[in-house]
A and B are shown apart, each in its own frame.
Chain A
Amino acid sequence: MEKMPRWADVVLVPVVSLLLAALISVIVFWAVGQNPWEAIKLMAFGAVGTSDFLGYTLFYATNFIFTGLAVAVAFHASLFNIGGEGQVLLGGLGAAIVCLFVPWPHWTLALIGGGLAAAVFGALWVVIPAYLQARRGSHIVITTIMFNFMASGLLVYMLSDALRPAGQMQTATAVFPEATHLPSLNDIAQLFGADTFGRSPVNISIFLALLACVGVWLLIWHTKLGYQIRAFGQSESAAKYAGISAVNITMIALLISGALAGMMAVNNTMGINNPQLIDNAAGGAGFIGIAVALMGRNHPVGIIIAALLFGALYQGGAELSAATSVPVQIVVVIQALVIMFTGALDEMVRAPIAKLFLRRNARAEA
């Protein structure tokens, strides 16, 4: 069968999926008695309406780039890391410990140290699920879900007991020392005399996220390891015949995935206005990463676009729920629809489009 053109695969199919998801979202708005058009306008304004809102959108997009990359790297090895949420939480723990107990002289060093700690903690949290998948064949999906629950239990314990300063009411760590606070984009803009992004927490780690995209792109498509990961993901048996160790690739792919998820914590601990690790810091970003990776077709460029879209959705949804009676969970619904249409029902969208092109090609030849 003649394949459809590349642009249709990369652009048309996701856009149609997105439209289907939007259509059902409209029905949901209508079912809860909300004017869909008004809701969409409110969300759009909440996402990009002011410089402040745009800053928040970019802040959330930074989170989702990290978690999206994390899911994508595992997907390339045909592994489904649904534990991003827990890995982000542990990454936050790592960053918090390093920021609180090491006297950093300057934020650049703190960024390196905090980033490494976050990555290591995130990766460590996936070691056991990865090991059990590689050596015992335990289902990575269920084990990582279980590790999400355990991570949130561990974090509640750490934040309400071990790391909470005496006398503080909030379940959170102390505020990190000033030297570890990453400059926000507003700080940088002010160096050049501009004043953009207002009080929003979007910060320097957005560049770290873009750097991670380049890193993943190099890793997956331009290194031997990346080739092995993709080969393993395409066909486990073929990869084994080619001398690729299934155990090693499973472990390495998942460790990289966990490290990427963990690194998100740099953004939501050291980057926020009051740098500290708060309760429920991940806020569902680990799960949104699944939708981002699926929509972005596991490619860094696609992931950046999808992350921006979900950042806008997340921020717009928050503004929508502040202005109307629609709760923020509407974002979860839309996220689910995107996962459904771009992930599981892909063939439903793809097949008619492919048929359309096939017919057109046949007509052109005749």
Chain B
Amino acid sequence: MKKALLFILIASLVLTSGFAQGTKEQAKGEKEIVILVKNMGNGFFDAVYRGSQEAAGQIGGMKTVYMGPPQPTAEGQIEIIETLIAQRVDGIAISANDADALIPVAKKAMAAGIKVISFDSGINVGGRIVDLVPSNEELIGRQQIQLAAELTGHKGDIAVLSASAQATNQNSWISWMKEEIKDPKYANMRLVEVVYGDDLPDKSYREANSLMQKYPNLKAIICPTTVGLLATAQAVKDAGKTGVVEVTGLGLPSEMKGYILDGTCRQMALWNPVDLGYTSTYILNGLIDGSVKGNVGDTFPAGRMGSVKVEANGMIVMSTPFVFNKDNIEEYAAIF
């Protein structure tokens, strides 16, 4: 038994040291910021970090570090923030796995003098100074229905394949999709069901298959998540339903290039994650300098993005999603 316990102890030590290790090799006077993402290994966040590096290079005297838990959980992010408080970094930009669970630890970080903002998937008021929204949630949701309508000629059954049932941003987009489809111009379209693939390829693939099985008149599947979109495109292609069941949603150009070129997913949308990381970094820079407080009505300079303005509840809206299709996919696939 002793042997077994020792074994587990060693195993857990190996694991925690592998994942939670942060390095602190900051030169005096240099600003250090952390881009804390939902989980490691997500192409979208890799692009966010690239934008942050670009901005840090332009600002100068700033070091940006990329971190995230191995699994997309709030617990993992809380652990990392605790470590960052101990390391006394200057700023953290977070894409949150839970809008409320991170508030206490984020408050602790702010009390320790760290500037905390959220981006992409926000933290509720009280847990961050400002929240950078990639686009207006209303515009994203409405645009998804518009994209599906264009593909299906404004008629037929459509379904939504989302991430997890409690994902903050997906749920808000879906509620706007439900608003948009009430418009009389979609009278011949019906949103039949919302299913959840939990951002796992195998589960999403299976759910996409059941949708096709369950609704013989299905004309389109909307996937407002990159993992779900990839798996759905593969499932539709495997079922031989390319052109019968249209696929659209929010996807990464490099991952979706093949499916866009072969016609499985003829168009999809996404804001530019590079710009998101870039703008977050400029916002943190303003806050760390103390040149902008982040109060409602304040304006942050944001390099090539011009400037962004703080609105009610500390929200900052960046831009409207960009539509990718076979004409522009090659160009963007090379970037992210």
The answer to whether A and B come from one shared complex is no
